[in-house]
Amino acid sequence: MSFVVPSAWEVAGLLCKLFLYFGAASLAGAALNLAFYSDGSRRSVQGLLVYALIGSVLGFQAVLLNYLVQVGMISASGLAGMFDWTMAEILMDTPLGETTFWRLVAFTLALLGLVICLQLLARRQQAPTRRLNTFLVAVPAVALLVLAESFQLSGHVSVHGNLAQLAISLHVMAFGAWIGSLYPLLRMTSWLEPSELAWFMRRFGDHARLVLAVLLLAGLFLLWELLMSPAELWQSPYGLSLSLKLLLVAALLGLAAHNRYQLVPALAADADAAVQKLQRSIKGEMGLALLILLLTAYLSTLVGPMEH
């Protein structure tokens, strides 16, 4: 048993997957923060919209490039094979083509909607109204729903039943909401007063319980569906990679719990030191999240369960 060493094409596909995940996370994080954790100021709202816009641009490019990479890999004629339009047309009638289409639709909706949102915000001198804020939340949320649905069309769960396909969509949205909120929360630590920051962080921690419940339940169900037996977790490259991913998720959960129950309460006692510790801890969460996304890209690109 050995781990799969990726080819140059597969490394390119893996990086495309990574930027796709970042795009999904930025949409989920922006929607969640606009709805619950924004202080309502123009600076905060604009920052979240730009965050989602950057993620959508990268996500759109990653999806398009990934399709061309798959065309080039199948054509087997070097970089020029990426532009083999005959092969590209053939692949459009496959699950890869359908998945690519809906992901491009999702990011296009996000890009157009977010540009409109930023224009509407630029025309206002005051903070967004409640009606406008609802629209601002809806744009990335709708794009995220379309994007999450696309994960049902390809990959290991595409050959499983409706419950497994629903589980992967919920898993993508929940994990995206969690890790996609880390950067906005980190930015928030730079300008909010400690008391206000503590309130928002407690609010995030309370909502994170529901997000984590969905994440873990969907993840456990997917494990049940994808693995032939628990022994596969240590008897195959896929299982070992998945085990490492689970350990990283456990470490991320531990760090999040440390933030919620140790660092956030400390904001009231020793504000400056607590804010710095909180910033370092959130950066640590972001680093762990990046490793998890890399492993997820590896699992979905290079290896699969024994039955696949």
User: Domain limits at 153?
Assistant: 8-301
Coil, strand, or helix at residue 270?
coil
| Full 3-state SS string of 164-230 | HHHHHHHHHHHHHHHHHCHHHHHHHHHHCCHHHHHHHHHHHHHHHHHHHHHHHHHHHHHHHHHCCCC
Residue 1 lies in a domain: no
Q: At what angle do helices 182-191 and 162-180 cross, to 10 degrees?
A: 20
Residue 119 lies in a domain: yes
Residue 306 lies in a domain: no
pLDDT of residue 10: 85
- Dump the DSSP string for 71-109: HHHHHTSSGGGGG-HHHHHHHTTSHHHHHHHHHHHHHHH
How many domains does the chain fold into? 1
pLDDT of residue 52: 97
d(CA 139, CA 151): 19
Residue 308 lies in a domain: no
Residue 258 lies in a domain: yes
| Domain at 16, CATH number | 1.20.1630
Which token pair is 147?
Answer: 């994007």
Under 8 Å between Cβ of 252 and 282: no
Per-residue pLDDT of the chain (308 residues; tens, 9 = 90+): 455 567 888 889 889 999 999 999 999 999 999 999 887 788 889 999 999 999 999 999 999 999 999 999 988 788 888 988 889 899 998 889 999 999 999 999 999 999 999 999 888 777 777 888 899 999 999 999 999 999 888 766 666 677 888 888 998 999 999 999 999 999 988 888 888 888 888 888 888 889 889 988 988 888 788 777 777 777 777 778 888 888 998 999 899 888 888 888 888 776 778 888 999 999 999 999 999 998 888 877 776 565 55
Under 8 Å between Cβ of 100 and 63: yes
Residue 3 lies in a domain: no
Terminal C-alpha separation, the chain: 16
pLDDT of residue 265: 86
Residue 281 lies in a domain: yes
pLDDT of residue 156: 62
Which token pair is 102?
Answer: 């809906």
